[in-house]
Structure 1
Amino acid sequence: MALAATLHVMELKAVTSGQQSTKTLFVSTPQGPASNNLSDTGHTYVPDAPQGQASTLSGHAVPDTSNTDERDGTLPRVDIYLPYGTTGDQTLVHRADAFVKRKQDPQYRGKCKVDCKYRPQSCQNICYYQNCIHGGRPPLYREPGLKSLTRIEAGVSVKPGTPCNAGPFAQKFWDPRSQSKALNLQCDEWPMVSQKREAPNSAAPKIQISLRCIPGRDNSDAGNDIKQCREGAGKWSAKKPTGILSGERGVAGSSPFVEDDTYEVVPYMGSFIKDNEADDALRETLKYCEPNPDCSNDGLQMYATNIRLDKGAGKFPNNDGKTRGKPYDNALHNTYRMAGESADIRQLHISLKITGDNWNDVLTRVYYYENGNQVELAKKNTEGMKANDEFTLPVSNTLLQELRVKKTDCTDFEFTYGNPSDANKPWKAFDFNTGDKGYKPYSYTLSGDYCVTESKPKMKTVRCTFPAV
């Protein structure tokens, strides 16, 4: 029997006597040219009208069939119902206004560009990920779905304190560059949240998400470049005169990317003016973007090693600009590591107890916090320590770099952790004195002081904190 000549009853719902019947039926119409390519079976789903009334669909009057045998009835074709499958001898249909299109297959959508002259620090992070982590063979980026990794799951956030402006990371990345709000450091993540990312895996052979502390303007502008490319807006619009980069997008022209569409990201160098002194100087700082890049860490590349989403202590100890004096704890808070290093960044504490008739006896302790407890790394008792005297706590299994302590006055000291003259990794060192201050909103103390001094009749105590790589 030809398909166009068949008649199907999809559902006959039994009802109690006296209630309105709610029949559902399929009817046959002669096979003719289909009004669209999704409804070419000749069968139409028609819901019954109340008894005694005619159903009107697409301008066609449909007679009441409540008292007839549906297998004998013939109704006109109604095009607002579209078939979507079969079951047994029935053809299943949707109402056209409720029809959901099948998601198109993922497609390659071309190249998105980030202008490195105006987003230099973002480009550094992108280039580090593509050229150093992936050896110049970066993966294609994918449009994310609902289950892609969030910022918090990646160890960052859009709010302050994540982690570039939270201790001890702000002290490491912010204070040596500036101690003002103008720097506005944010944690740049690459791949970014608008790109599909897998869940963190400590066994992954490569860094999954590259982090870098960069100025907020860089971060937001680069993110906007990618956003406009994905949406077909701005420079990537095929419908506007400003769409000078629309040709870089792949198939589907100006349509927005959909889930699992793939694309490349190109750090764009075309805006730099050759032989312009300022442009040349800026471009020289983008060492990760060179054809044969120097992939040694410049002191700003890091990644998360442990994301703690379920700890009551929170992700960071001082991330709201109000809480002070709570130490960073590697066992309770998110942990991060400088790319290329074997140990996580820690917050170290140094305590100096000064006694004696001339305040010349100094008991020094270095420690950090783990699960709320102090873990001692080194200890030294020095008697007769006068102004300009100094000593060194050597490298050990627990203290990863040497710590030099120099006394300049009664309770004034200078500290040097590591070797600032190291030709390869000078950024691993950190030097400061008891009078130094950091950017106050995210420092260990309300005043931004690195050190706090307490005085008692026979003892003075100096306590300081500093970041250790």
Structure 2
Amino acid sequence: MLSVLLALLPLAASHDVKPIEFGRPAPIGTLISLPTPAASNERPINKSEQQPYIHLENASVDQIQMIMDADFAEIDDSLEDSSEFDQYVPIGTTDDTTLVRRGNGIEKRAAFRGTMQIDCLEAPEVCQNACWYQNCLNDPTTPIRYQDGGRNSGRDSANRLQSGVTVSRGTPCQTWPFGQMFWDTYQFNPNPVKDSEKYLETDEWPMASFENPAFDETADPPQHTLRCITGQSNKGGARAWTNFRRGHGPYAAGGKWEKFRNGAKTHFVRYDEFNVEFNFDSFDANNPDHQNIRKTITYCDAPYTCANDGRQFHMSKLVTNGKTQGQLAWPYDATSQNAYQLDKEGTDIKQYHVTLAITGDDQDEVSAQVSVYENGSQDPTILATRDSTTDADITMQDGDSFSIKGDLPKTLKVEKSGIGCGTFKFTYGDAATDGLAVFGFDSEDQGYGRWSHTEKGKLSGRYCVPEDIEGQDANGADVVIGTRLKCSFPGW
């Protein structure tokens, strides 16, 4: 270190650079090229990569000026959370910058950093998701450990993959059959954003920047919980974490939550620990809108009622597609792609396909076939059939129905409805006996269109896509003799 300080003396004389005093805190800058944020989070610095330090007593004026102009830069904010700081040793200061060089792996000690507060008025669905995990699946007294962060953190991306959020088609909440199950039935948004009341994102808890174990499909309880929530609520949760991690906003000096954060001006380092609390101070008991929002947050209040409301789920099998993404595709195959379950249900959600063939002079002869795609096959596995030419009740009038099960886990009821010409209602499962394993729709239903059976045009998002059934008349001419409805729905 002494030789380093001596080497700085010519620079100090010419450019007002002073050796740093021992123990003096100061802002951080760099005298050598920094690695990119992405690289700094992928692996530790190798000693062989350390760049040589220029001995300034032997440097030319041009070399000194080049260093002053190019290398005295502020460290990018995306590195503030990285252990990359541990690789730099302060060696001198200008008026407003501390000069550093890469050190030998000096380690900052992790510490307990206090209690993060999540404002549940700003992020109600984040609170619901996190409270479910903290109070119903996990030991709520276990501190959370900060793993890594920064805008370009490779570990954040890896954790999103391991939690089941990062998939090849958007997120699970935007991909059939999960879009049908969670998006199209969504009724919880108390404060719509712009033109899309139902624009949903997949929220994971623990958050990606927290310590996350590698995915283990045998874990009980599951290591993460997922919930389809609005982007507005998701951003509220992100703000809560960012402010706490950086000591900004309500945690800054004089802020309402200053007392909850230990080390007000100290950046987080890897393995710092903290607790999380769900804060309801912003709710006004005399504001009906606030109280309506409050009613949607059911997992934060003791004694905890830990019955799944039908929207808490987790990944049960991870299948990567070779591009650091979980595999999802159309048609969905739960046996060869990422699989998901509702928490506490224990059975993978599948995409079932029911095809109705509607024929006869009065369009009253109805055959049915139910199938599922599995094991990567291009051809579906037939689970149940009903042949209108051999089964009882071969004709159907409005109000008539039949049930079909075969190898389906639950019974599918098909009813010819009077709500429209050729309209059929489908009910999978029995609400009285099958709990959450129930899904109902009709042949006119239309939901989120992206990655549906038909993505574009007037049939985009349709649960049932119609096709003509062609045959021949008495003279052998090709004619349309009926309609084929090809429908899909989630079930387990």
The alignment's TM-score, normalised by the length of structure 1, stands at 0.72
Provide the rounded CA distance (Å) in 2 between the counterparts of 1:103 and 1:435: 62
8 Å CA contact 2:168–2:326 kept in 1: the answer is no
Identity %, equivalent residues: 32
Q: Describe the superposition over 1:371-426 as per-residue Cα deviations: whole angstroms up to 9, x where unpaired.
A: 133122211123222332101124x6x3122111011366321111123456x83x
Q: Secondary structure at 2:395's aligned position in 1?
A: coil
Q: Is the alpha carbon distance of 1:354 and 1:262 closer, same or farther for their aligned partners in structure 2, counting shifts above 3 Å?
A: same
Provide the rounded CA distance (Å) in 2 between the counterparts of 1:275 and 1:337: 39
8 Å CA contact 1:337–1:345 kept in 2: the answer is yes
Q: Is the alpha carbon distance of 1:99 and 1:298 closer, same or farther for their aligned partners in structure 2, counting shifts above 3 Å?
A: same
Query: In the alignment, what sits opposite 1:162?
Result: 171
Match of 2:259 among 247, 250, 254: 247
Q: Describe the superposition over 1:51-105 as per-residue Cα deviations: whole angstroms up to 9, x where unpaired.
A: xxxxxxxxxxxxxxxxxxxxxxxxxxxxx999xxxxxxxxxxxx97444572221
The question of 1:449 aligning with 2:458 is answered: no
Deviation at 1:362, TM superposition (A): 1.9
Provide the rounded CA distance (Å) in 2 between the counterparts of 1:429 and 1:216: 27
Deviation at 1:335, TM superposition (A): 1.1
Equivalences for residues 66-465 of structure 1 within 5 A: 97-99=101-103, 102-144=106-148, 147=155, 149-157=158-166, 161-177=170-186, 181-238=196-253, 241=254, 243-250=255-262, 252-274=263-285, 276-310=287-321, 315=326, 317=328, 326-370=330-374, 371-372=376-377, 373-382=379-388, 383-394=394-405, 398-408=407-417, 411-420=422-431, 425=435, 427-445=436-454, 446=456, 447-455=460-468, 456=470, 457-465=480-488
Deviation at 1:167, TM superposition (A): 0.8
Q: Is the alpha carbon distance of 1:147 and 1:160 closer, same or farther for their aligned partners in structure 2, counting shifts above 3 Å?
A: closer
Provide the rounded CA distance (Å) in 2 between the counterparts of 1:96 and 1:301: 48
8 Å CA contact 1:143–1:262 kept in 2: the answer is no
Q: Secondary structure at 1:125's aligned position in 2?
A: helix
Which stretch shows the higher mean deviation, 437-446 or 364-373?
437-446
Query: In the alignment, what sits opposite 2:30?
Result: none
Deviation at 1:272, TM superposition (A): 1.9
Query: In the alignment, what sits opposite 2:29?
Result: none
8 Å CA contact 1:164–1:186 kept in 2: the answer is yes
Structure of larger gyration radius: 1
Q: Is the alpha carbon distance of 1:245 and 1:37 closer, same or farther for their aligned partners in structure 2, counting shifts above 3 Å?
A: closer
Provide the rounded CA distance (Å) in 1 between the counterparts of 2:107 and 2:240: 26
Deviation at 1:154, TM superposition (A): 2.2
Deviation at 1:316, TM superposition (A): 5.4
8 Å CA contact 1:128–1:289 kept in 2: the answer is yes
Deviation at 1:439, TM superposition (A): 2.0
Which stretch shows the higher mean deviation, 344-353 or 269-278?
269-278
Deviation at 1:204, TM superposition (A): 1.8
Deviation at 1:460, TM superposition (A): 2.4
Q: Describe the superposition over 1:88-147 as per-residue Cα deviations: whole angstroms up to 9, x where unpaired.
A: xxxxxxx97444572221100001110112211110011001000015434423233764
Q: Is the alpha carbon distance of 1:460 and 1:47 closer, same or farther for their aligned partners in structure 2, counting shifts above 3 Å?
A: closer
8 Å CA contact 2:167–2:325 kept in 1: the answer is no
Q: Is the alpha carbon distance of 1:98 and 1:287 closer, same or farther for their aligned partners in structure 2, counting shifts above 3 Å?
A: closer
Q: Secondary structure at 2:239's aligned position in 1?
A: helix
Amino acid at match of 2:358: I
Provide the rounded CA distance (Å) in 2 between the counterparts of 1:81 and 1:275: 58
Provide the rounded CA distance (Å) in 2 between the counterparts of 1:289 and 1:98: 46
Q: Is the alpha carbon distance of 1:158 and 1:389 closer, same or farther for their aligned partners in structure 2, counting shifts above 3 Å?
A: closer
Q: Please, which runs of 5 or more residues in structure 2 have no aligned partner? A: 1-20, 25-52, 59-89, 93-98, 389-393, 471-479
Which stretch shows the higher mean deviation, 226-235 or 274-283?
274-283
Q: Is the alpha carbon distance of 1:139 and 1:202 closer, same or farther for their aligned partners in structure 2, counting shifts above 3 Å?
A: farther
Q: Is the alpha carbon distance of 1:47 and 1:351 closer, same or farther for their aligned partners in structure 2, counting shifts above 3 Å?
A: closer
Q: Secondary structure at 2:245's aligned position in 1?
A: helix
8 Å CA contact 2:168–2:328 kept in 1: the answer is no
Q: Is the alpha carbon distance of 1:366 and 1:295 closer, same or farther for their aligned partners in structure 2, counting shifts above 3 Å?
A: same
Deviation at 1:442, TM superposition (A): 4.0
Amino acid at match of 1:245: W
Q: Describe the superposition over 1:213-233 as per-residue Cα deviations: whole angstroms up to 9, x where unpaired.
A: 011110111111111101111
Q: Tell me the matched-pair count.
A: 376
Deviation at 1:465, TM superposition (A): 0.8
Q: Describe the superposition over 1:244-270 as per-residue Cα deviations: whole angstroms up to 9, x where unpaired.
A: 2121112x3321110000011111122
Amino acid at match of 1:407: K
Amino acid at match of 1:338: L
Amino acid at match of 1:165: Q
Q: Secondary structure at 2:487's aligned position in 1?
A: strand
Provide the rounded CA distance (Å) in 1 between the counterparts of 2:113 and 2:415: 60
8 Å CA contact 1:143–1:257 kept in 2: the answer is no
Provide the rounded CA distance (Å) in 2 between the counterparts of 1:151 and 1:364: 40
Provide the rounded CA distance (Å) in 2 between the counterparts of 1:450 and 1:139: 44
Provide the rounded CA distance (Å) in 2 between the counterparts of 1:279 and 1:413: 40
Provide the rounded CA distance (Å) in 1 between the counterparts of 2:55 and 2:240: 50
Q: CA RMSD in A?
A: 3.4
Provide the rounded CA distance (Å) in 2 between the counterparts of 1:465 and 1:156: 23
Provide the rounded CA distance (Å) in 1 between the counterparts of 2:453 and 2:299: 33
More helix by share: 2
Q: Secondary structure at 2:387's aligned position in 1?
A: strand
8 Å CA contact 2:358–2:484 kept in 1: the answer is yes
Amino acid at match of 2:305: D
Query: In the alignment, what sits opposite 1:25?
Result: none
